[in-house]
């Protein structure tokens, strides 16, 4: 049975799909058979990204499919080395299902308290109310700004929680938006500096997955 990585949040626009695509392309580049399960059937943004990727013949090939339910995605999970579940926002029941099935549950968040507070509340609900092991929760800072102080304050806020926080962060960059608009992921950006930041975050995720598996 392959790995399942869930990327979930209670809010839209915090970088779930950005993170899911980066994980997928990183593992696919290493020869893994990867599928992204896009569970946001209303927007299906990861599936739309795939169409742009296919139109430009970008390799490696990453499979993306939309699913109406988590159970539908799980039926084919064994066919892949890794399935990345790109969860829909506010899908509480589906979020819990993903949490119970995933080897690692990643919660992306921005730096503001409007993002951080619901992220921690969701992590608390998954662990305290639904019994998901603490070590399987990881928080990722995504779409961050250019203020080192704000970044330090966000990491300080998270440091008093019991949750693992991935090192590095994925900043909000024009280069990343343009990369994804053209079917690339943030770890495939042609610009070295931003790409290296994204690479470091994904490597931290890989290290965490290997450590707890």
Element of type H or E holding 159:
helix 148-159
pLDDT in tens, 198-213: 999 999 999 999 999 8
Residues whose CB falls within 8 Å of the CB of residue 34, separated by 6 or more in sequence, listed in order: 24, 27, 28, 62, 63, 80, 81, 82, 83, 84
Torsion of CA 8, 9, 12, 13, to 10 degrees: -80
Q: Note the pLDDT of residue 1.
A: 67
Query: Measured on CA atoms in the order 209, 28, 37, 20, is the torsion positive or negative?
Result: positive
The pLDDT, as a whole number, for residue 213 is: 87
Over range 16-28, report the average pLDDT. Answer: 97
Average pLDDT over residues 147-173: 96
Euclidean distance between CA atoms 19 and 108, whole angstroms: 8
Among residues 145, 142, 133, the alpha carbon closest in space to that of 170 is found at 142
pLDDT at 81 over 90: yes
Rounded to 5 degrees, φ, ψ at 35 are -135, 135
Element spanning 115, H or E = helix 113-124
Between helix 16-29 and helix 45-55 the angle, nearest 10°, is: 40
Rounded to whole angstroms, the Cα distance separating 40 from 27 reads 22
Tell me, what's the pLDDT at 169? 94
Q: Map tokens 């994204």 to a residue.
A: 198
pLDDT in tens, 23-45: 999 999 999 999 999 998 888 89
Q: Rounded to an integer, what is the distance from CA 190 to the centroid of its chain?
A: 21
Closest CA to 74 of 29, 39, 45: 39
């Amino acid at each position: 049975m392959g790995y399942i990585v869930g990327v979930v949040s209670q809010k839209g626009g915090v970088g779930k799909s950005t993170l899911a695509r980066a994980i997928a392309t990183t593992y696919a580049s290493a020869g893994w058979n990867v599928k992204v399960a896009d569970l946001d059937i209303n927007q299906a943004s990861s599936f739309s990204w795939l169409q742009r990727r296919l139109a430009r013949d970008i390799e490696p090939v990453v499979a993306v499919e939309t699913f109406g339910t988590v159970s539908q995605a799980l039926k084919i999970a064994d066919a892949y080395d890794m399935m990345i579940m790109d969860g829909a926002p506010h899908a509480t029941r589906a979020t819990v299902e993903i949490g119970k099935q995933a080897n690692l549950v990643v919660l992306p968040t921005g730096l503001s308290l409007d993002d951080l507070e619901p992220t921690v509340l969701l992590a608390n609900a998954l662990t305290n109310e639904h019994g998901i092991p603490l070590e399987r929760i990881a928080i990722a800072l995504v779409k961050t700004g250019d203020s080192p102080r704000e970044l330090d304050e966000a990491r300080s806020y998270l440091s008093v929680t019991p949750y693992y926080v991935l090192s590095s962060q994925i900043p909000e960059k024009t280069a990343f938006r343009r990369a994804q608009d053209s079917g690339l992921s943030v770890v495939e950006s042609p610009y070295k500096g931003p790409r290296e930041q994204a690479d470091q975050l994904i490597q931290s995720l890989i290290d965490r997955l290997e450590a707890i598996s």
